[in-house]
Amino acid sequence: MATHTIAIQGVAGAYHDIAARRYFGAAKGDTVEIVECDTFDQLCEAVTNNTASAGMMAIENTIAGSILPNYALLQTYNLSVIGETYVRIQHNLLALPGQSIKDIHTVQAHPMALLQCRDFFAKYPHIHVEEAFDTAGIAKKIRNENISGLAAIAGYLAADLYKLDTLAEGLESNKQNFTRFLAISRTANHVSREFNKASIGFRVSHTSGTLADALAIFKRNGINLTKIQSIPVIGVPYEYTIHVDMTWEDTSDFEQALREFKPEALELKVFGVYKEGEKNIDLTTKHIITVNEPNDPEEPQEVLETAKKQDSGEMTIPAWQNWIPPAPNTKSNYLLISGPCSAETEEQVLETARRIAATGKASVYRAGVWKPRTRAGGFEGHGVKALQWLKRAKEETGLMMAVEVATAQHVEDCLRHGIDILWIGARTTGNPFSVQEIADAARGTDVGMMVKNPISPDLELWMGAMERVYRVGINKLIAIHRGFSTHEKSVYRNNPTWAIPMQFRARLPQMPLINDPSHITGKRALLAGVAQKAIDLGMDGFIIESHIDPDNAWTDAAQQVTPEALAEMLNSLTWQPAYGSVTHDDTSKLDTLRSAIDRLDAEFMDLLAARMNIVREIGEYKKHNNLDVLQPARWEEIIQKRLAQGGKLGLGDGFVREVFSNIHKESLTIQQG
C-alpha cells in the first residue's frame, strides 16, 4: 500500500476530500493524506512545488456548469491531468451529537449549498441560514468550538471525521447534482491502450469555418468530443483557447487525429491522457472511509467480501425460468414478452391482454405507460392511471406485467401498483446518472429488471447499466437487444449490429438475452426475419409489440401486430436449443456447439460480404479520381487498429495480422478488377 499526499481546495471532509480518497485511495487500497488549501491557486502551487504528490480539482458541476477559473489554471500551471472522478454532491445536515432538528437555530454553509437545499429549509422556518465560505469548514468549526444549535451542510465524510450526528440526509432538491474532479500531477501519463480520454487546449485562426474544419478531424477519426469550452486568453481581448475533452475506443485513432490536427492549430497543448471516470458510482459516498479501513469493526466481514465480489465483476444471475413461468404454447427455453407500444385506453389494454393470453405464447405483458417522444406534442402516455389498467389486466389474465421506467418516481409508482418487471429503455441506458437513480429507487425490492442496449453501439454502457442494477441487490435481470442508431443506410429502423449482442453474451454468458424485433425493424413485415436470426444466434426469446388494432395504434403503428398474427409468426420460426440449455452430460452438446459455430460463421460471412461491397465502392472512387489502389498509410492504420482491438478481445497478433492481410489482399484484387 502506498501513501498519497493530495492537495485539495477546502478542509478535510470536503467533497474534494471525498474525490481524492475515491480516486487515489478507495480503488487501490492506498492511504490518502490531505493537504488543505484555501484556494485553487494554492492547490496548483502545492502540486507544483512538491508539497503534494498530486491534486484533486473540481472542473464542472451538473447544476452550476463549468468552473472557468479552473480551466484557466490548467493553462497557467505546467501540470497534467492524470485522471478524473465523479462525486454526487449529497448534502446532509450535521450537528453535535444529542441534538435534533428542533434544537438547531442556525445553519451556515456555502451559498450554493444553501440554494440547492432551499426547499428543505422552507419546511423549517425557525432555522436561520447564513452564508459561509466552506461547508466542511463549518462542520470542523462546530466540533472544535463545541457549538450547540449550529448545523452545517456537508457530506458523510465530514460527519465521520468530526464525529457529528447526521440529522437529515439528502437535503438537496435536485438529486442529480454531480461534480467532476480532475486529478492533476507534475508528471503526465504516456499515451497507451490503458487510457481512453484526453483533455486538450488549442487556438485556431479567426477565419470562416476554421474551427469547424479543425474539429471535423476528430469526427473523421472516430473521436467522441464530450466537452467543448472556450476560455478567454488573459490580457488578449476577444481571444479564446478552446478546451476539448474527448474519448475513443482505439488509442491509435487518437494519435492519428492529433497528427492531422496539429498543422491546423496555432497553438496546441495536451493537458493529459487518462482513463475516463465512471459516472455516478457510489451515489451516497457513505462508505468512503470504510473502504480504506477494511478492519473497521463496524463493517461486517461478509459485507466486505460481497463488495469485493461485486467489484471483481462477478454476477450471479438466475435463469429467467426461475422467476418467470414459461408460457404453455412456447418452447420452455424461450421467453416471450408482448403487448402494445402504448397503454392507450383501459379497453385496449384489457382486450390486448386477453387475446395475448389466449394464444398461450407469452409469459409477460408489456405496455408503455410513460411515452416521451422524440418530438414534443405527441401522445406521451397516461402515467399512473394506466398502471391501474395493467393491475386489472394482471388480475384477469395471470400474465406478469412489465413497464418502462425512466425516473425514480416511475419506479415507486410501478412498485405501488404491483408491476412485476421494470425495464430501462435505450435512451435511459445511455445516461449512467439516470440508470443509477432507477437502480437506487428499486434497491431492496424483489422486482425484475430488464435493460435495453443504448441507442449508440456502446457495449460498455450496456454492461455498465446491468452492473449498476446488480450492485443494488437486484439479480432478476434480463438484457434486451433492440438494435442501434448507426446512421448507416438500412432497411431497418435500428441496425441490429449482431456482433455487439454476441460480444455481450461472451462477456456476461449467464445473463438472459432477448431480442426486440419490433424496434430493430420498425416494420411488421420484417419481424419474422429478425426473430429467426435471433434464434439462430442463440438468444433466449423476444419482446414484441402487439396491439388489437395495429394500423390505428397511437404510437409506432407500423411495427405492431395483432396477437393472433404474432402467434402465427412464432409458429413459422425454426426453433433451436436455447443458449445454455445443454447440460454437460448431454450427448448432443457437440452438435449444439457446432450449430452455434455455424450461426456465427453465417454472421461473419454476411459482414465480410458487406465489407467487400464497400471495398468495390472505394475502388470506383479511386478510379474516378485517379488514385493509387494501394494506400500504405491507410493499410498500416487499419492493421494497427485491428491489432489493438484483437488484443482487447484475447486474439493473438499473428492470427489477426494473417486474417486481415488476406482480407487486404482480396480488397486490392477487387479494386484492381
Coil/strand/helix, residue 268? strand
In whole angstroms, give the CA distance from residue 566 to residue 548: 11
Architecture of domain 92-176: 3-Layer(aba) Sandwich (3.40)
Q: Is the pLDDT of residue 582 over 50?
A: no
Contact between residue 86 and residue 203 where contact means Cβ atoms under 8 Å apart = no
Looking at every residue in the chain, the average pLDDT score rounds to 87
314 Cβ contact partners less than 8 Å away, ≥ 6 residues apart: none
Contact between residue 433 and residue 178 where contact means Cβ atoms under 8 Å apart = yes
Q: Which regions of the chain carry the CATH code 3.20.20.70?
A: 336-371+379-572
Q: Which regions of the chain carry the CATH code 3.40.190.10?
A: 92-176
pLDDT confidence of residue 31: 85
Strand residues in 439-583 grouped as ranges (E):
448-452, 477-481, 513-515, 541-545
C-alpha cell at 199: 483533455
| 591 CB neighbour count, 10 Å cutoff | 12
What does the pLDDT average to over 466-477? 93
Confidence of residue 596 (pLDDT cuts 50, 70, 90): low
Strand residues in 170-312 grouped as ranges (E):
178-185, 197-203, 224-232, 240-247, 267-274
Contact between residue 482 and residue 520 where contact means Cβ atoms under 8 Å apart = yes
Among 181, 254, 271, 433, which one carries the catalytic annotation?
181
pLDDT confidence of residue 305: 45
In whole angstroms, give the CA distance from residue 349 to residue 352: 5
Confidence of residue 287 (pLDDT cuts 50, 70, 90): very low
Residue 3: active-site member:
no
Q: Give this prediction's pTM.
A: 0.53
Q: Looking at per-residue confidence, does 653 or 648 come out higher?
A: 653
Confidence of residue 570 (pLDDT cuts 50, 70, 90): very high
In whole angstroms, give the CA distance from residue 360 to residue 56: 59
DSSP 39-59: SHHHHHHHHHTTSSSEEEEEE
CB burial of residue 189 (10 Å; 0-12, 13-18, 19+): middle
pLDDT confidence of residue 94: 96
Q: Does domain 589-672 have CATH number 1.20.59.10?
A: yes
Give pLDDT tens digits for 226-264: 999 988 876 677 778 899 999 998 888 999 999 999 998
Coil/strand/helix, residue 542? strand
Among 5, 85, 135, 179, which one carries the catalytic annotation?
179
C-alpha cell at 35: 493537504
Q: Is the pLDDT of residue 592 over 90?
A: no
Helical axes 40-48 vs 68-76, angle rounded to 10°? 20
pLDDT confidence of residue 401: 98
Look at domain 336-371+379-572 and name its CATH class.
alpha beta
Buried b / exposed e along 525-559 (16+ C-beta atoms within 10 A): ebbbebbbbbbbbbbbbbbbbbbbebeebbbbeeb
- What are the phi and psi torsion angles at 326 (to 5°)? -60, 145
Residue 345: active-site member:
no
Contact between residue 400 and residue 380 where contact means Cβ atoms under 8 Å apart = no
Give pLDDT tens digits for 507-524: 888 899 999 999 999 999
Q: Which regions of the chain carry the CATH code 1.20.59.10?
A: 589-672
Contact between residue 443 and residue 421 where contact means Cβ atoms under 8 Å apart = no
pLDDT confidence of residue 196: 93
**Averaging pLDDT over each range in 302-316, 360-374, 592-606, which range is the top one?**
360-374
What does the pLDDT average to over 630-654? 85
Contact between residue 520 and residue 492 where contact means Cβ atoms under 8 Å apart = yes
